[in-house]
Amino acid sequence: MLGLNRWKKQKFSFSAKSMSNKLERRHFLKGLGGSALFLPHLEAMASTGVTKSTDPSVPKRMVCIGNNFGFIPQLFFPEKTGERYDLPDLLKPLKKHQPEFTIFSHLDHGSNGQGGHSGIHAYLSGILSKNSKGFTERNISVDQKASQITQAKTRFPSLQIASSVAINNMLSWSNAGVAIPPISNLNEIFDLLFQKPSPAKKRFAERDLNRQSSILDLVKTDADRLTRQVGKSDREKLDRYFSSIRSVEKQLDQTRLWIDHPKPTVDYQLPKEAANLDFSKRIPLYYDLISLALQTDSTRVISFGTGDIGSDGGGLGVTRGYHQLTHHGKVPGYIAELSIIESFLVKKFAGFLDQLGSIDEPNGKTLLDNTITLFGSGMGNASSHSNKRLPLILAGGGFRHGRHVSFENQKNRPPASNLFLSMLQQFGMETDRFGQSTGTLAGLELAK
């Protein structure tokens, strides 16, 4: 079975005879009782004996990680730019991976992304929900834009996860400008990805799909007539509503397509009472599930939000609330405790990069090399409620890394959406526009 195995490099051996013919990407081994194991990426799945980086059987993935409360700017950004820069203490846990990521400074979303805590939801879109009118795809987030080209290739076009659900800080937004609620319960995430449904549950799911489809059909019956009876303003609202309906239809079609496909089997198990563990114990488990979701090709696009640590200090030993600490007013005691939380988040991100970097893929690269990984926040300085100068780190994904790129002295600073456009193009999307972008991001190059 496929499992974490403490994220040591996976090794698989198969008979040359049994692999003499080209295998399909979703070839799986059948066992007794009808159980099935999905195979990992194999060279025999390629058209030749050697899988090249452009082989479609080695897909690009995208993971966007966002912290609701940002990071202390003076502790996050290096003093020097270019390749020969020293990591600040906060980012020292990432030292091992320094050649594999880029730090960007003085990037943000301009006036369209300003709104204090309410502006955090523009992190992955660059556009506040209230300012999205007039944009072709509203305030669609970069992860949801990327999911448009994955569609039926995976069981889930995208997956939204969060350590806690904060209504005002949703990371993922549809092209209709609707927030997509994340899942925070670890057991629910695991079951969604790997739990084999019983025959009874499967029948119930099929009936529920048919019921939802019937409801949507009834809604669409009167849609055109209703649209003709209302004014322009209401028609715009209805168009947004019906766009959401179409999105739900696509989700139902996706679910129906995969309902008879067995889920991958893994030997990973969550700890008992996982959902009730402290923040500090849960965060690594989210990363475990994200890594497994990518490795089993259950999805190729994931957003993960970290936020409230809970009233008990999250098991981190802090004595004040997270939000309270972000309004530190430069008080040393507050900054010291806030640094504990931020250091923990960076360490766990570093561990996630370790996980991705330990998994070999058939194109001679690792899962980290093939995963465009964004780490940052829509909050620049929580102490002053500023959404400017966002903390942004881009790792893996086939880009040239190992640098700190600053736009401080650039006369016309590019919007952070230029970074997202570059991510989308590298992901495989043929587009020259995303949100407020003015082009791809200067200073971000592909690896040779």
The domain that holds 155 is classified in CATH as 3.40.720.10
If we measure between CA atoms, which residue out of 82, 41, 74 comes closest to residue 58?
A: 41
- The answer to the question of residue 37 being in a domain is no
- The answer to the question of residue 385 being in a domain is yes
Is the pTM value of this prediction over 0.85? Answer: no
- The answer to the question of residue 284 being in a domain is yes
> At 85, which amino acid appears?
Y
User: What's the pLDDT score for residue 270?
Assistant: 96
> At 119, which amino acid appears?
G
**Do residues 76 and 304 lie in contact, with contact meaning Cβ atoms separated by under 8 Å?**
no
- The answer to the question of residue 362 being in a domain is yes
Output the six-digit token pair for 138.
């509203």
Overall number of domains in the chain: 1
Terminal Cα-to-Cα distance of the chain (whole angstroms): 35
- The answer to the question of residue 135 being in a domain is yes
**Do residues 141 and 62 lie in contact, with contact meaning Cβ atoms separated by under 8 Å?**
no
Q: Which domain holds residue 442?
A: 61-187+277-448
- The answer to the question of residue 269 being in a domain is no
Residues in a beta bridge with 315: none
In eight-state DSSP terms, residue 65 is E
Q: Tokens 């049994």 label which residue?
A: 18
* CA–CA separation, 20 and 401 (whole Å): 38
Q: Give, for all 448 residues of the chain, the pLDDT tens digit.
A: 555 544 444 332 222 233 333 344 444 433 333 333 444 444 444 433 323 334 557 999 999 999 999 999 999 999 999 999 999 999 999 999 999 999 999 999 999 899 998 899 999 999 999 999 889 899 999 999 999 998 788 999 999 999 987 666 799 999 989 899 999 999 999 999 999 876 776 666 556 656 666 555 656 666 666 766 777 667 666 666 666 666 666 666 666 667 778 999 999 999 989 999 999 999 999 999 999 999 999 999 999 999 889 888 999 999 999 999 999 999 999 999 999 999 999 999 999 999 999 999 989 999 999 999 999 999 999 999 999 999 999 999 999 999 999 999 888 999 999 999 999 999 999 999 999 999 999 989 999 8
- The answer to the question of residue 246 being in a domain is no
* Dihedrals phi, psi of 400, to nearest 5 degrees: -80, 125
- The answer to the question of residue 48 being in a domain is no
- Whole-number Cα distances in Å, 408 to 85, 205, 299: 16, 53, 37
